[in-house]
Amino acid sequence: MWWHQHNLCFRHPVDEDYSGDLEEKVATIAETDESAESEGVIDSHKRREILSRRPSYRKILNELSSDVPGVPKIEEEKSEEEGTPPNIATMAVPTSIYQTSTGQYIAIAQGGTIQISNPGSDGVQGLQALTMTNSGAPPPGATIVQYAAQSADGTQQFFVPGSQVVVQAATGDMPTYQIRAPTTALPQGVVMAASPGSLHSPQQLAEEATRKRELRLMKNREAAKECRRRKKEYVKCLESRVAVLEVQNKKLIEELETLKDICSPKTD
């Protein structure tokens, strides 16, 4: 596998190895002037150990950015929506925000907690917490919502991704929610469970274990995505650093040549 950019051609056998090559390149260019005559040979085992214990890309890049003014920082987890309602922004950092048909805001926080806030309220007031779970073997796309707060008013309806609508289908101690397409009256599946009771039976324990596994896989999936995004940003940063250092190096060499000419004029 070969990878072309800036008229350079880097070998790129496995995607994970490329950033290592680039790091080496940056280090080599940065140290050319001082340590050109140093041994420069690192024991491969030691090097592997160092690499395997490297801190996260975010950390590295942020350290780089503090050393080098031009290097951008990797942003912390940012919310998807720019126009976050003020009464939600002060709470946990949401990953998704939806607005209900009655004007309420629903924020799904990182931990899977759903927060419902009334537009007129000032943050904490009117907030209801729900817990998102995916238990057992749900049908594709289905989401289990565990209702942890009692709704005081009547039927509630809010929008979820995919142009679907969550409708409160029953009231009372066991409110039920259904996901429906907004234009059809046919429910696509009941996805609501009441507040969780105690888990005792083997089946319930198995379901809980499955649920935990699903949750872990989901989080890991998101973490892997985020990790790859950071890595790409990190590699971009290294590439631009290579370019800058190469230019600097060239300038210094030219300067050195000029000074050499001045200090030791030719004797005819």
Partner DNA sequence: ACTGGAAGACGTCAGTCTGA
Partner DNA sequence: TCAGACTGACGTCTTCCAGT
Residue type at position 57:
Y
Cβ closer to DNA: 229 or 250? 229
Minimum CB separation of residue 252 from DNA in Å reads 31
Cβ closer to DNA: 49 or 122? 49
**Partners of 96 in the β-ladder:** 108
DSSP output for 36-88: TTS-----HHHHHHHHHT---HHHHHHHHHHHSTTSPPPPPP--S-SS--HHH
Minimum CB separation of residue 166 from DNA in Å reads 23
What is the 8-class DSSP label of residue 100?
A: B
CA–CA gap between residue 177 and residue 263 (Å, rounded): 85
Cβ closer to DNA: 66 or 220? 220
CA–CA gap between residue 88 and residue 104 (Å, rounded): 11
Minimum CB separation of residue 151 from DNA in Å reads 28
Minimum CB separation of residue 260 from DNA in Å reads 41
Cβ closer to DNA: 225 or 251? 225
Contacting residues toward DNA, per CB under 7 A: 1-3, 12, 14-17, 19, 52-59, 110, 217-221, 223-228, 230-232
Minimum CB separation of residue 196 from DNA in Å reads 16
3-state SS class at 11: strand
Cβ closer to DNA: 222 or 255? 222
3-state SS class at 114: strand
CA–CA gap between residue 200 and residue 189 (Å, rounded): 26
